[in-house]
Structure 1
């Protein structure tokens, strides 16, 4: 393809498309309802912060409450096994051990949620900076091409 042919194709494309840059978007629905709400993912930092805080609060509160229950169970088990001689102490001990395992699973899950949301916020903030940089670079590049073709 010769340079003149390339320039002619660019000019024809510019005539067909008067805008310099167009971002893809969802067509406006009839009736002026604005863009479709289907398929759009929108998360604000305040939403992530709220979910992360709820997970952190659940983790903290459940850790404190379960620790009290664990200590009370150990006290009962010790009393029944040693002091009172009840065989029920072994059964309560068995349940308490499994309870601690379940508590740890829930604590791990809530900590994972809170940590993941914190990381998600950070990643999205970095993505925003990157996207802004790319778009401004495209705009600057586009302006340079305009200056070259129009002489301004």
Structure 2
């Protein structure tokens, strides 16, 4: 492509559309009349509790099953090694990798469960603070209304 052709194509493209920024996005959803605005993130304690419980159950159940799989695999690997099978060393390697991977999953599920428990407690404290602040404002308003004779 020659330089002149490049310049001509750039000029044509500039003439066809503005140089403003265009963001690709989904069109806004029509309002359902439910009163919630698009884009607001809402979560309740029931949702958090369900996620935390699921993470705790996964941690507990996987920990038990994972330990059984590890012990069985290592026992089989030992038996194969003593009988001179090369597969024994390979199975032992797989069992070692299994230990690393299962520990990572157990750590992650414990972190999720613990973090959600912490979040639940922190938000409960925030709710107490906010309700205390709002009730004190209502008390002040009532006092001002009494003075005005309303």
| Band of TM-score, shorter chain | 0.7 to 0.9
> In the alignment, what sits opposite 1:81?
81
Q: Which residue of 2 aligns with 1:99?
A: 98
Q: Within 5 A, what are the aligned runs for 1:27-106? A: 33-82=33-82, 84-106=83-105
Question: Is residue 105 of structure 2 the alignment partner of residue 124 of structure 1?
Answer: no
Stretch moving more, 32-41 or 71-80: 32-41
Q: How does 1:125-140 map to 2 (within 5 A)?
A: 125-140=124-139
How far does the alpha carbon of each residue in 1:13-60 deviate from its partner, in whole angstroms, 9 at most, with x for none? xxxxxxxxxxxxxxxxx9881323412222221111111111111111
When structure 1 is superposed on structure 2, of 126-135 and 87-96 the one drifting more is 87-96
Q: TM-score if structure 2 supplies the norm length? A: 0.73
Q: How many residues align?
A: 121
**Separation in structure 2 between the aligned mates of residue 74 and residue 102 of structure 1, nearest angstrom:** 15
Give the 3-state SS of the residue equivalent to 1:134 in structure 2: helix
TM-score, normalised relative to structure 1: 0.72
Shift of 1:136: 0.7
Secondary structure of the 1:35 match is coil
Pair 1:133–1:106, CA change in 2 (3 A): same
Task: State the alpha-carbon separation in 2 of the partners of residues 151 and 108 from structure 1.
Answer: 62
In the aligned structure 2, how far is the partner of 1:32 from the partner of 1:108? 41
User: Gapped runs of 5+ residues in structure 2?
Assistant: 1-29
- Shift of the 137–108 alpha-carbon distance from structure 1 to 2, 3 Å rule, reads same
